[in-house]
């Protein structure tokens, strides 16, 4: 389907008489309810038919082709961007930046923890209070997150001071 077809349908919907006839078909089932004279309604129906928005059924009655809108939507849809396995895990566990749940499967948990560890800059030391504040943004059980990060070597701890000691680094 071409951009011309999309422009054609949008152009039809921009014309008041065509839009009124389409609305009458949708709402009342007949073009006579559009409030137009017979010739104007006939011209509008012809345009709607050429644009693929209306057809005559076996009885000669006009019907809206709602599927035409779906066709146009599919024609404008962007191809799916390949998503890495890590991104899939993050999409399934993070909603608007917050964890729905801490993953129980080890491989998924490591993906999520690595993502969270990116909040902490390598080489910077953080007091426990700052670590808790950062982790609370991800999940209410920030203490469990902190423990997992330390246990998995993504954060190190000494005297209630933390620093990033693992995880991936953007180059």
- Convert the pLDDT of each residue in 31-78 to its tens digit: 888 889 999 999 999 999 999 999 999 998 999 998 988 888 877 777
Point out the domain boundary residue: 31, 50, 76.
76
Within this chain, do residues 54 and 90 fall inside the same structural domain, yes or no? no
Structure tokens at 171: 């180059």
Distances in whole angstroms, Cα of residue 49 to Cα of each of 10, 44, 55: 14, 9, 6
Q: Are residues 43 and 114 in the same domain?
A: no
Do 39 and 89 have their domain in common?
no
Tell me the C-alpha distance between 17 and 27, whole Å.
15
Give the list of residues 6+ apart from residue 70 with CB closer than 8 angstroms, or none. Answer: none
CATH number for the domain that contains residue 34: 1.10.10
Domain encompassing residue 46: 3-76
pLDDT digits (tens, 9 = 90+) for 100-141: 999 999 999 999 999 999 999 999 999 999 999 999 999 999
Q: Pick from 76, 104, 133: which residue ends a domain?
A: 76
β-sheet bridge partners, residue 126: 162
pLDDT band at 145 (very low <50, low <70, confident <90, very high): very high
Report the domain count for the chain. 2
pLDDT number for residue 1? 54
Q: What are the distances in angstroms from CA 115 to CA 72, 73, 142, 168?
A: 38, 34, 15, 8
Q: Are 118 and 99 contained in the same domain? A: yes
């Amino acid at each position: 389907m071409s951009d011309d077809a999309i422009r054609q349908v949008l152009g039809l919907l921009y014309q008041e008489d065509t839009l009124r006839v389409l609305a009458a078909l949708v709402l009342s089932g007949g073009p006579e309810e559009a409030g137009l004279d017979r010739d104007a309604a006939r011209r509008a129906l012809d345009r709607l038919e050429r644009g693929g928005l209306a057809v005559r059924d076996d009885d000669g009655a006009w019907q809206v082709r709602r599927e035409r809108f779906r066709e146009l939507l599919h024609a404008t849809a962007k191809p799916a961007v390949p998503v890495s396995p890590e991104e899939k895990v993050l999409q399934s566990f993070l909603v608007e930046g917050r964890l729905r749940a801490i993953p129980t499967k080890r491989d998924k948990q490591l993906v999520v923890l690595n993502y969270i560890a990116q909040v902490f800059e390598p080489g910077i030391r953080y007091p426990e209070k700052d670590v808790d504040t950062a982790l609370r943004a991800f999940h209410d059980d920030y203490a469990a997150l902190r423990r997992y990060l330390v246990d998995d070597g993504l954060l190190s701890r000494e005297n209630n001071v933390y620093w990033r000691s693992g995880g991936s680094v953007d180059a």
